[in-house]
Chain A
Amino acid sequence: MSQLQSEGRVQGRFPTTHWSRVATAAGRDDGESQAALSMLCQAYWYPIYAFVRHLGFTPEQAQDRTQDFFAYVLERDLIARADPARGRFRAFLRTVCARRLAGERERENADKRGGGRLQLAIDQLDAERRYALEPAHEMTAERIFDRSWALTLLGRVVDRLRREYDDSGRSARFDELIAVLTRDPESNPYTEIARRLGTTEGNIRVAVHRLRRRYGILLREEIAATVGDASLVDDEIQALFAALAG
């Protein structure tokens, strides 16, 4: 749930533009694509934070460096120079971050970037709470990054799904249904829910089915926004699988 709370801060702002398009427009001082890009960064700051933390920085340093990193990326128009057709936003950020931070370990008190065009809303406590849950000792920084990326992405999708239900006044229903979203329908988990919601098992089955379908579409939308091309979505899903398994 902590995931959802932290994501709640960027409510209603989901990328609807593919990062590839954002990237190609980024250098042209296009306000709209800048906003979309900021939103993407805003959405995925935590994996960078976790990455930085894993390199041994303190929470304060990690927060600074995360801010610093995004400012760096945006100021240098790095995204505009990236080749989005061949890469993914995730890989791009991770690679740039790794390079950027490679030489900074010794550099205490790195200069704060001034006039940052993007001020990330990083809640230090929340960030640390999440970081504490990472199986950090088992993994490399890159794997931590990918894993938290996958969880962030999934969290955003679930959150977006939840908002759709909230907006139509079906919050209670959502809370029941989401609990069985991934359950095997064969295991017949619906009887109890139907009883609690005062409806039939068949209705629940249909509702879960709809929720799943919607979830699947949102997940793909979300992933599509972070990869260059919709055809890469399945590859990215495989990559995220790998990231989670790590």
Chain B
Amino acid sequence: MNGVETCPDCGERLWSDSPAGLCPSCLLRLGAAFSIDPKVSRSREAGDAAYGAANAALRLRESSDDIPLTLTASDEVYGNPDPSKRYQLLGELARGGMGAIFKGRDLYLGRDLAVKVIREEHGDHPDMVRRFVEEARIGGRLQHPGIVPVHELGRLPDGRMFIAMKLVRGRTLAALLAARRGPDDERTRFLAIFEQVCQTVAYAHSKGVIHRDLKPSNVMVGSFGEVQVMDWGLAKVLDQGGLVDDDRPAPACDDALELRSWRDGSEPMESRPGSVLGTPSYMAPEQACGAMDTLDERADVFALGSILCEILTGGPAFEGETSSEIYRKAEKADLSDALGRLDACSIDSELVELARSCLAVASKHRPRDASVVVSRLTAYLRGVEGRLRDAELATARAEARAAGERRRRQLTLALVASMLVTGLIGAAGWGWAGRERRRRLGAVDDAVNAALADSARKREKAIAAGSDPILWVEAIEAARRAETLLSGNDATAERRERVRRFLDELTRERDAIEAVEKDRHIGERLAAVLNDFGVHGDERKANADYAAAFRFYGVDVDSLEPSAAGRLLATSPVAPELASALDQWAILRRSRVLRDPAGADRLIAVARGADPDPWRNRLRDTVGRTGGGSARRLEVLERLAATADVEHLPVTSVTRLATSLAIFGRRDTAIALLRRAQSSHRDDFWVNADLGRELLAASRPEEAERFYAIASGVRPQSPLALGGLGRAILMSGQPEEAADLFRQWIRLRPEDPLSHVALGAALLALGQSSEACAEFAEAKRLKPKDWMVRDQIGLAFSDRGDWDSAIREQSEAVRLFPNSGVAHKALAHALQSAGRLKEAVAEFREAVRLDPRVSASHLFLGRALIEMGEPRAALEALARIGAGPPPDPLITPEMLASRAEEFIALEPRLNDVIEGRDSPVNAREAASFARLAFARNRPEAAARLWSQAFAASPDLAEDLVAMNRFQAARAAARAGTVEGVGRMSESEVESRLKWRRRAIEWLHADLAASKAILDSGTAPLRAGVARRLSRWRVDPDLASIRDEPALSTLPEAERSSLRKLWDDVRSACLSNTVPATRRSKPDRNF
């Protein structure tokens, strides 16, 4: 046999015939960690955990840690209280000299525990059995948090003895020590663990028990820092006649007597004389010599010293290449190496001295027992802790003072750092001052010290007061006084230098705080610019506000070279925020109102210089349209969204990305992104406000309400949040609550016309038209020349379906700002919604002419032209839609183009169809012919074709969104116009009467269907239905069956029936309190 090599991992004997020189036990353990189940064998943790497990005397396979505690006990188990069947062995955890330790399940209590089973070969060895029983008894009697509780000692069904004890999860101190990078690593933590070990051993000593095998691998450190001393298999109870020194006091507690009494009637538990038990690296020399029976507490003290030595120096008392070498050193008490290491390490001398005394060769020179070690160690640790705590408290106080008056978000690292530096120098200054005073109590020194003290006091006040410049001036002046006093004196250069440095730091600190104030101020100011824009929507004003804010900050971005401006801004601690504001500003400059792409590019160049973050630069490229075509940009945006590290990005980057995605029609992605951002920035104003905005635009007012409410909570003074919250609430059908919010908004911004418009809209929904009109009038009074006010009022009327009023306001907007394509487009929408198609087309054409880049204008012009029966012109208009974001979420150019092409294809057949020589192939085609015929001013043919279509497919009639039955009613009403009835033949009169009745029938049917939705539909559905119904009240084609002059020509019965219909329509419209989305798009009306 080639000596006793041990495995470095598990401590098992390593035989020279081991495969590949590896430890066979570890090899098996490794295999055991991999289940054949591929799901488990894929788990890296399962495999790796097994290695760490190797070293422990009692060590868990960590993969089993998560096994849920299940109660497996059945009635059968309870009914059969055979203790030998109580425990189920689940798998071996470790193996020691005396027994194997299994993970077990207590079937009675359904808990996992550790079961130590005596090894088979020891099963009939009386010494071993006695030792085993002894271990269980010691473990069972020693009640200490540092000792694993023993539950039971018993026999397995096969007769082997076992000890059931608590299952300890964690790692051994040996493993933790091995994982250290060096002895300096986490020394405080290891000393704390060591302290707990000492306390546990001290407790055992107080009970007259010595462990005799203390070593790091017998110390378990649990997941929560709990420390337990394991493996009391070698422990020994000191009996009265044992080697107790005369000067050792009698055990203080009665427990000790009780403990000793276990032995009564059995022979003393002695180790075989001369046999060596224990682990040589930690073994006291007397133990290594085999004096097992005469060992006392001081053998444990030596082992503790060896552990401490390992914690401090990285190695135990005895080290060597082989076990035998280590053993020889232990036997000879060759501590030269360990003491050399202790002397060489740069640790507090108290600790080194403690380790040395524990490692004394002669046991009488060691501390008497572990309690002495504990008290010395504790005294040392408390001293260190006290010193540390004082230092930490000082730092914390300084930080608290600084943070107190400032909002936490604006406090930059620069400030904290500068204060810490000042704090240190200040302390050094005082140390110096104190020493100086002791040495020479001269008048100058007193004056200098007084001046410095004055300065320090004022500095503290200045910090506490925030940015009050006067206090800083006073603090600096006081320090200058000290400097002056020293300069006229024979003070040493060193002292002068120190005061000068103190003064410098003070000045720097003041500058830092001023800079922080400036940064905070610019941050708030830029946020306010954006905030205000969100409400007033005036690009020109926002542009001017941004420029003014940056000029105030000292950087005129429009006159400086962009790279120079970028460099200036980059030095600011809030550079990303500044760059973000520039990005937002650039978006404004690219807008249709400002149309300043060159100015935008300049801003982006500055932003790049100020904040060169690559992710944000890609976002800049994409938003700035320099990153390729729209498809490419959309792709990049989506990739950015997918890779966005939402938690760590500046929030503004996330919101900008989300806004861009929404612009590109990816509103769902935008909402998802903002939701992610919201979950990590729950209180961020912009994230919540933007999320609310997108949800509102997606017609999800209930969700929008939630996030606007948060935004409003974060910034209660924000009109943007208040307004958004109000709109969300209005859209979800609570106009009264909305009106309250809008009134708050008015209180905040009485001069803001839009607050009055919003309130007016809510009042309209409440049916309080005159109050609403008063608010609108106030808005107009505040900004009589502002087209946008009119536009918003127009939209408020549109939301209510009051198309006449909407057209009036939009016409006024166009008059105030005739060059705005957007204004013309809004007017066109109102006209088309009111059924005034020709005028609508004219306004759309004007909108397209003024601002050809607006895709939506082309789109809706195309749609109106199709309705007019001009499909070719429509195709031309649609062809002018540029590449870019979809102009409308529902209506696509392709959809309209195919409709136009269908009309072109149907046109040649139209006359034949009308004359009855040809007929539509299906209901859908019949409907198309009907629309075409109506556009060609053949209302009777149109009405007939609609009839055919509805007969063939009743679903067509029921499609309220497509408004088929309404269109049919319009055609029938025109066909039934009673004008010039006197000149007509009877059959013609009959036919007109028939169509008029048919028109009224269709309207009744539509009204009934609409009412059903108004009664039970969702808020957005109700809003749509109400808006469509409103059209009935203004559509010119229905005038013959609606308006008084025409009605008066009808028979009385028909007239009163019609009046009832229109009353119903009006009340149906008024019953709905939900307006449509704010920027409501016209309905799809085919």
The distance from the CB of A140 to the nearest CB of chain B, in whole angstroms, is 9
In the complex, chain A residues whose CB is within 8 Å of the CB of B1052: none
B443 interface residue, CB < 8 Å from A?
no
Asked if A133 CB lies within 8 Å of chain B CBs, one says yes
Which residue of B is nearest A174, CB measured?
A: B20
B92 & A154 in contact (Cβ 8 Å cutoff): no
B178 touches A135 (CB 8 A): no
Within 8 A of A (CB), among B6-65: 7-9, 12, 15-34, 36, 41-42, 44, 47-48, 51-52, 54-55
A179 to B95, CA, bound (A): 23
- CB of B41 within 8 A of CB of A130, answer no
The answer to whether B23 and A182 have CB atoms under 8 Å apart is yes
A113 to B60, CA, bound (A): 51
Tell me, rounded to whole Å, the shortest Cβ–Cβ distance linking B225 to chain A: 18
B20 partner residues in chain A, CB cutoff 8 A: 1, 3-4, 155, 158, 162, 178-179, 181
CA of A105 to CA of B24 in the docked complex: distance in angstroms? Answer: 32
Decide if A178 touches B16 in the complex (CB within 8 Å). Answer: no
Residue A25 at the B interface, CB < 8 A?
Answer: no
A residues 223-246 in Cβ contact with B at 8 Å: 223-224, 230, 233-234, 237-238, 240-242, 244-246
Q: Does chain A have a CB within 8 A of B544?
A: no
B119 x A186 contact (CB < 8 A): no
A101 nearest CB across to chain B (Å):
22
> Is residue A70 within 8 Å, beta carbon to beta carbon, of the partner chain?
no
Which candidate, A90-98, A196-204, A214-222, is the interface stretch facing chain B? A214-222
What is the chain A residue whose CB lies nearest that of B44? Answer: A209
Interface of A is mostly: helix
**Residue interface mask A141-158, B partner, CB < 8 A = 1:** 000000000110011011
A186 to B52, Cβ gap below 8 A? yes
User: How distant is the Cα of A216 from the Cα of B31 in the complex, in angstroms?
Assistant: 5
Does chain B have a CB within 8 A of A2?
A: yes
Q: A135-B15, A216-B33, A246-B121 are in contact. Are A241 and B47 (CB under 8 A)?
A: no
B599 nearest CB across to chain A (Å): 48
Contact of A217 with B34 in the complex, beta carbons under 8 Å? yes
Asked if residues A154 and B24 are in contact (CB atoms below 8 Å), the reply is: yes
Q: Is B881 an interface residue (CB 8 A)?
A: no
Residue A117 lies at the interface, judged by CB distance under 8 Å to chain B: no
Q: How many Å from the CB of A221 to the closest CB on chain B?
A: 9
When chains A and B are docked, how far (Å) is the Cα of A182 from the Cα of B21?
A: 11
Contacts of B119 in A (CB 8 A): 245
Whether A181 contacts B22 in the complex (CB less than 8 A), given A213-B41, A216-B30, A217-B34, comes out as yes
B1019 to chain A, nearest CB (A): 56
Q: A240 CA to B1056 CA in the complex, in Å? A: 102
Report, as a range, how many residues of chain A touch the other chain: 35 or more
B21 A179 Cβ-Cβ under 8 A: yes
Residue of B nearest to A143 (CB): B121
Specify which chain A residues have a CB less than 8 angstroms from the CB of B21 in the assembled complex. 1, 179
Q: Is the CB of B8 within 8 A of A183?
A: yes
Closest to A188 in B: B179
* Shortest distance from the beta carbon of B711 to any chain A beta carbon, whole Å: 44
Please tell me if A212 contacts chain B, counting CB pairs below 8 Å. Answer: yes
Is B1 positioned at the interface, with any CB of A under 8 Å from its CB?
yes
The answer for the CA separation of A245 and B22 in the assembled complex, in Å, is 15
Give complex CA distance A234, B55 in Å. Answer: 21
- Indicate whether A60 reaches chain B with its CB closer than 8 angstroms: no
**B179 and A187 within 8 A (CB):** yes
Across-interface contacts of A209 in B (CB, < 8 A):
44, 47-48
Q: Given A4-B20, A182-B54, A237 and B9 touching (CB < 8 A)? A: no
Complex interface bits, A1-39 against B, C-beta within 8 A gives 1, otherwise 0: 111100000000000000000000000000000000000
Residue in A135, A178, A183 whose CB lies within 8 Å of B1: A135
**How far is A201 from B955 in the complex, measured between Cα atoms in Å?**
70
Contact A234 B91 (CB under 8 A): yes
Which of A130, A154, A157, A213 is packed against the most chain B CB atoms within 10 Å? A154
Residues in chain A near residue B42, CB distance under 8 A: 213
B27 and A154: CB pair below 8 A? yes
Q: How far is B36's CA from A158's CA once the two chains are assembled, in angstroms? A: 18
Q: Is B933 an interface position by the 8 A CB rule? A: no
Whether A150 pairs with B28 at a CB distance below 8 angstroms is yes
Complex alpha-carbon distance, A136 and B161, angstroms: 27
Nearest Cβ in chain B — how far from A82, in angstroms?
Answer: 24
Of A1, A133, A181, A186, the residue contacting B27 (CB under 8 A) is A181
Tell whether B175 is near chain A: CB-to-CB under 8 Å.
Answer: yes
In the bound complex, how far is the Cα of B1049 from the Cα of A153, in angstroms?
A: 110
CB of B277 within 8 Å of the partner chain: no
Residue B522 CB within 8 A of the other chain: no
Residues of A within 8 A of B33 (CB): 216
In the assembled complex, which residues on chain A have CB atoms less than 8 Å from the CB atom of B28? 150, 154, 219, 237, 240-241, 244
B121 and A185 contacting across the interface, CB-CB below 8 Å: no
Q: Is the CB–CB distance between B19 and A238 below 8 Å? A: no
| CA A217 to CA B33, docked complex, whole Å | 11
Which residues from B are CB-within-8-Å of A106?
none
With contacts defined as CB atoms under 8 Å apart, how many contacts are there between chain A and chain B in the complex?
A: 147
Q: Is the CB of A186 within 8 A of B95?
A: no
Residue in chain A with minimal CB distance to B178: A187
**Distance in angstroms between the alpha carbons of A154 and B175 in the assembled complex:** 25
Question: Do A150 and B47 touch across chains, with their CB atoms under 8 A apart?
Answer: no
Known interface pairs A183-B51, A216-B31; A154-B19 also in contact (CB < 8 Å):
yes
The answer to whether B8 and A238 have CB atoms under 8 Å apart is: no
Q: Does A184 touch B at the CB level, under 8 Å?
A: yes
Q: A209-B48, A212-B47, A234-B32 are in contact. Are A182 and B19 (CB under 8 A)?
A: no
Q: List, in ascending order, chain B residues with CB within 8 A of A212's CB.
A: 30, 34, 47-48
User: Does B289 lie at the interface of the complex (its beta carbon under 8 Å from any beta carbon of A)?
Assistant: no
**Could you tell me the distance in whole angstroms from the C-beta of A181 to the nearest C-beta in chain B?**
6
The answer for the CA separation of A95 and B36 in the assembled complex, in Å, is 28
Is the CB–CB distance between A215 and B30 below 8 Å? yes
The answer to whether A182 and B26 touch (CB under 8 A), given A217-B34, A238-B91, A241-B92, is: yes
Do A230 and B17 touch across chains, with their CB atoms under 8 A apart? Answer: no
| Bound-complex Cα distance A220 to B25 (A) | 15
Which residues on the A side are within 8 Å of B95 (C-beta)? 241, 245
Q: 8 Å CB contacts to A: which residues of B815-853?
A: none
Tell whether A186 pairs with B179 under 8 Å between CB atoms, given A209-B47, A245-B95.
yes
Question: Does the CB pair A220–B34 fall under 8 Å?
Answer: yes
Best-buried of A4, A134, A187 by chain B (most CB within 10 Å): A187
Inter-subunit contact B175/A213 (CB<8 Å): no
**A residues near B27, Cβ cutoff 8 Å:** 154, 157-158, 181-182, 215, 219
B100 at the interface (CB under 8 A from A): yes
> Whole-angstrom distance from the CB of A178 to the nearest CB of chain B?
5
Whole-angstrom CA separation of A91 from B36 in the bound complex: 22
| Known contacts A151-B17, A209-B44, A209-B48; A242/B100 CB under 8 A | yes
B33 (CB) vs chain A CBs: closest residue? A216
| Chain B residue contacts of A219, Cβ below 8 A | 27-28, 30-31, 34
Q: Which residues of A contact B36 (CB under 8 A)?
A: 217, 220, 224, 230, 233
Whether the pair B31, A245 counts as a contact (CB closer than 8 A) is: no
- Most chain A C-beta atoms within 10 Å of own C-beta, residue among B16, B18, B29, B100: B18
Query: When chains A and B are docked, how far (Å) is the Cα of A212 from the Cα of B30?
Result: 8
Interface-centre pick from A135, A155, A223 (highest chain B CB count, 10 A): A155
A184 pairs with B178, CB closer than 8 A: yes
CA–CA, A224 to B35, complex, Å? 12
| CB of B358, distance to nearest CB on chain A (Å) | 27
The 8 listed contacts between A and B (C-beta, < 8 Å) are A133-B15, A154-B19, A179-B21, A181-B30, A182-B23, A186-B52, A216-B30, A219-B27
Question: Residues of A at under 8 Å CB distance from B?
Answer: 1-4, 130, 133-135, 150-151, 154-155, 157-159, 162, 178-179, 181-188, 209, 212-213, 215-217, 219-220, 223-224, 230, 233-234, 237-238, 240-242, 244-246
A-B pairs, 10 with minimum CB distance:
A216-B34, A182-B26, A219-B31, A155-B19, A184-B51, A133-B17, A186-B179, A158-B19, A154-B19, A158-B20
- 13 additional A-B pairs beyond A159-B19, A238-B32, beta carbons within 8 Å, are A3-B19, A4-B20, A150-B28, A151-B15, A158-B20, A162-B20, A178-B20, A181-B27, A187-B9, A209-B47, A212-B30, A238-B92, A241-B29
